[in-house]
Structure 1
Amino acid sequence: MTSRRLLILPIRWRLTLWYAALLMAALLLFGGGLYLGLRQRLYASLDEQLQDRATAELATVRFIVRDGTPVPAPIEPDPADAELFRRVFDGNGGAVSESAHEGGEVPGDDAVTAALGGETRFSTVPVEDGESMRLLTAPIRTDGRVVGALQVGLDRDEVDGALATLLGILALAGPLVLLVAAGGGYLLAGRALAPVAAITTLAGRIDGNDLDTRLDLDLPDDELGRLARTFDAMLARIEDAFARQRRFTGDAAHELRTPLTLMRSQVDLALARPRTADDYREALRELDGDLERLTGLVATLLTLARADAGRLAPDRALFDLNYTIASIIEHYAAPVAAATISLVDASTPTPLVADEDLLTRALINLVDNALAHTPAGGSVTVGCQVEGATVRLWVADTGGGIDPEHQARVFDRFYRVDAGRARAHGGAGLGLAICKAIAEAHGGTIGLESQVGQGTRVELLLPTSH
């Protein structure tokens, strides 16, 4: 099976096949090692047995003198030891005596010549019926001279039979063990992958109407357990994103509908009966105010949409934030005088590489918000300073403050602490959301500190260069 075909299989089958392949390799190594090790040990034991028997036989060899030369005497057969084959040769390599062998004649070999040369040698020769015999041929010495050779042998049928039995057991048991283990591996793989199957089933079933569904699998803290918990956390984030998107869409539709409804009412009223030119001009002025509010709201929504898409790219340039704050305070001089509110400049020279237009917009939103919530006789402070590689920009007021339960959500879109008051001042609940988007577009952060009855302070932390 090619690697491409293997990848087509389900992961459960792939795991099972890999497990079976590794197990088969392990069984082959184990079986082969066991067979070869036992074979070597049995053959070594057979050689040791032959060595001992040859030593015992050499000790019983008798000699006779022929033509003045001692030669080995024939060995008498021992009926009690019929399994041992014995053969005696004289100094010329001729057989002096030979015991009978049930398997037929035992052929000679070159070991006799080697033994007459003083060398002891093991050899294996074939006999009838496909069997073999292990032979040991040793020199026969007297007075330090080699006068013949002794050859003893044992059939290897018992050893070969034991090895054949072992090989048969391995050949039969190996596939059975492999089959059972592969079946167990398939079941274990299925059980191990059950959370993945559950995730797949749930993911295929979820749509926008049941994002509150969770796996809630009771798994240990392993890879699959972390995967299941990560999937649940992802569903929670998606559910929250969908909920915020729905709220955003609903609030945007509501905010857009309000000025459109007012505009429609003004048009209907103006067309209800003939009017003077001054009446029409007044109606157009009112329509112009509503259009201005509508245009601003749409621009704000587009800015937030660009921020969500990562396309709110600041046009960075070097400027001094101190001058920008001074210009904004000068712009608000008349309104704050009329409202008897002090607008304090607490800025210091603050060179900054950023988008001045975006930061001006953020400051105007913050100052508008602070002035809207500061009573007569109160004060609003705008300041900035450099702190290392960071610029701190803040707007603080002495208004009524924000309750702790609202502080975590004031940067959410369309969120109003006091909806009625915000609408009275023309607010849509997007000012702080825009400020947050501008801060994040510059690689900075925005935060809020507030105490009920004492006031609120909003701070932006921005890098001096980015």
Structure 2
Amino acid sequence: MRLLPRSIRARVTMVFAVGAAVVLSLCLALLYVTLDDQLTSALDSDMATRSGDLSAALGAGDAGVVARDPLAQLYAADGSLVAGSPSLGQRRLLTEEGVRGVQGGRPTTVSVSLDGGAVPSVVRLLPRRLDSGQVLAVGVSAEPLEAARERLLLVLLLAAPLLIGLLATAGWLVVRAALRPVDVLTREAAAISSVEADRRLPTVPGDDEVARLARTLDDMLGRLRVAFARERAFVDDASHELRSPIAVLRGEIELALSALDEPAEVERSLIAALGESERLSLLAEDLLLLARERAGSLIVRREPIDLLDLARVESRRLEPVLGLRIEVRGEPVTVQGDADRMRQVLANLLQNSAAAGSRTVRVDVVRSAQTATLHVADDGPGFPPGVVEAAFERFVRGDTARTPGTSGAGLGLAIVRAIVAAHGGTVQARNGDPLGGAVVTAHLPLS
């Protein structure tokens, strides 16, 4: 069973109405108590004035002043009635025990039958002991006070629901006005689809929470739009890169099948098909590595690696294969990492330089206070101006003179960045010294 409504507007209004009801009830109760105290104090003040006047008259020897008062009685010290108002007759305001117990003048409330009535009336009574030892009791009917209390209570009971209803309605209107931009944003966000990638959320004026939320959501949509465009371009490029070797592979296989009676032609077609299959395998491995890096699941082993020794070994292995002259300089620096992955970094950078037409590559290993730096510089044409900033993005290519990637797919430098990042390092690209071509710098934390 759901106790709270689903709509936040209704929930806020309900909470506001309940809170307003509690606060309003407390305020009305305080008002009732305050007004009742004021009315009672007015009666007591009137009785105190009359009691003082009667006491002064009795002290002056005017014995008949009590009989002229609308509601008063004078008692002897033993409790016997001495004089009283005609409206009381022989009915007493105080009993004999009450007369003997009077010490100070404190107002009390009693029930007395006035003017011979059978129904007792509520009387507010102020007893007072005189200097002569007698007791003077002055009273006033509390019926008007009781009637005023009942009318006040009735008015408050009728006004409270009306006021609570008005406050709840006002709260509903205020909340609806405050959340109207949220409804607009919700409908607009629901209407935006991948087809409408350039569509933006409406602008909410002001600088309140809703306006900041609208701007934040719009900025988030902008970032998602960029990410979606990159992913779509990645899928398009990957499809294009996969289509070419698959088409070649299929053509070579068809050619081999059509030339079964020519062993030399079949062998040539199968060798070409094997080369394309290796290219497909390398491309699939590169895509899988990048996918793992994006998902944060690229696993690298952690073992001590001497970067200088690794660079020398890898350079000697690739120098004759790539036709490069590779110079390795620096000092021994040990880092914690995956030796196979770091070899892949060097291989990608060296093959990238060879593909760009470089003749000489210089590898420098430098140690600093907290990092080990690997510089790979070549004497090639360098990165085109429009490629330097995005050289490590997937499927980024320059011109025909420089194709960043081992397979020509534009994944080589993207893999370099992924592997270096998995080791907790950073990588940058630039053009210039020391050989005037491209320079790739990788920073790795020391062991």
The TM-score normalised by the length of structure 2 is: 0.88
Partners of 1:398 and 1:130 in 2: CA distance: 120
Q: State the Cα deviation string for residues 131-163 of structure 1 (Å, max 9, x = none).
A: 421111112333xxx1x2211111223433433
Mark the CA change 1:239 to 1:46 in structure 2 (over 3 Å): closer, same or farther: same
Q: Which residue of 1 aligns with 2:356?
A: 373
Q: Deviation of residue 348 (structure 1)?
A: 1.7
Partners of 1:319 and 1:423 in 2: CA distance: 26
Moved more, 239-248 or 160-169: 160-169
Please give the root-mean-square deviation of Cα atoms over the aligned residues, in Å.
2.9
Residue type at the aligned position of 2:446: T
For the residue of structure 2 that corresponds to 1:411, the secondary structure is coil
Q: Which residue of 2 aligns with 1:162?
A: 148
Moved more, 382-391 or 436-445: 382-391
Partners of 1:277 and 1:124 in 2: CA distance: 129
Q: Which residue of 2 aligns with 1:217?
A: 203
Q: Which residue of 1 aligns with 2:122?
A: 132
Q: Which residue of 2 aligns with 1:69?
A: none
Matched, 1:462 2:447: no
Q: Which residue of 2 aligns with 1:23?
A: 20
8 Å contact kept, 2:387–2:396: no
Q: Which residue of 2 aligns with 1:185?
A: 171
8 Å contact kept, 2:375–2:441: yes
Mark the CA change 1:263 to 1:420 in structure 2 (over 3 Å): closer, same or farther: farther
For the residue of structure 2 that corresponds to 1:61, the secondary structure is helix
Residue type at the aligned position of 1:181: L
8 Å contact kept, 1:195–1:217: no
Mark the CA change 1:241 to 1:419 in structure 2 (over 3 Å): closer, same or farther: farther
Out of 314, 339, 364, the residue aligned to residue 383 of structure 1 is 364
Please give the residue correspondences for 1:48-447 in structure 2 after superposition, counting only pairs within 5 Å. 48-61=45-58, 73-75=63-65, 77-78=67-68, 84-101=70-87, 107-109=93-95, 110-115=97-102, 118-127=103-112, 131-142=121-132, 146=133, 148-273=134-259, 276-335=262-321, 338=323, 342-376=325-359, 379-418=360-399, 422=403, 426-447=407-428
Q: Deviation of residue 271 (structure 1)?
A: 4.2
Mark the CA change 1:325 to 1:413 in structure 2 (over 3 Å): closer, same or farther: same
For the residue of structure 1 that corresponds to 2:390, the secondary structure is coil
Residue type at the aligned position of 2:355: A
Matched, 1:37 2:34: yes
Residue type at the aligned position of 1:456: A
Q: State the Cα deviation string for residues 107-126 of structure 1 (Å, max 9, x = none).
A: 434532223xx543432112
8 Å contact kept, 2:249–2:276: yes
Mark the CA change 1:153 to 1:253 in structure 2 (over 3 Å): closer, same or farther: same
8 Å contact kept, 1:103–1:127: no
Residue type at the aligned position of 2:394: R
Partners of 2:404 and 2:420 in 1: CA distance: 25
> How many equivalent residue pairs?
440
Q: Deviation of residue 432 (structure 1)?
A: 0.8
Q: State the Cα deviation string for residues 342-379 of structure 1 (Å, max 9, x = none).
A: 42212320111101111110111111112322445xx3
Partners of 1:181 and 1:28 in 2: CA distance: 13
Residue type at the aligned position of 2:101: A
Q: Deviation of residue 436 (structure 1)?
A: 1.3
Residue type at the aligned position of 2:371: T
Percent pairwise identity? 33
Q: Deviation of residue 17 (structure 1)?
A: 1.1
Structure 2: segments with no counterpart, 5+ residues: 114-118
Q: Deviation of residue 327 (structure 1)?
A: 0.9
Partners of 1:180 and 1:316 in 2: CA distance: 70
For the residue of structure 1 that corresponds to 2:375, the secondary structure is strand
Q: Which residue of 1 aligns with 2:116?
A: none
Q: Deviation of residue 188 (structure 1)?
A: 1.6
For the residue of structure 1 that corresponds to 2:285, the secondary structure is helix
Q: Deviation of residue 242 (structure 1)?
A: 2.2
For the residue of structure 1 that corresponds to 2:304, the secondary structure is strand
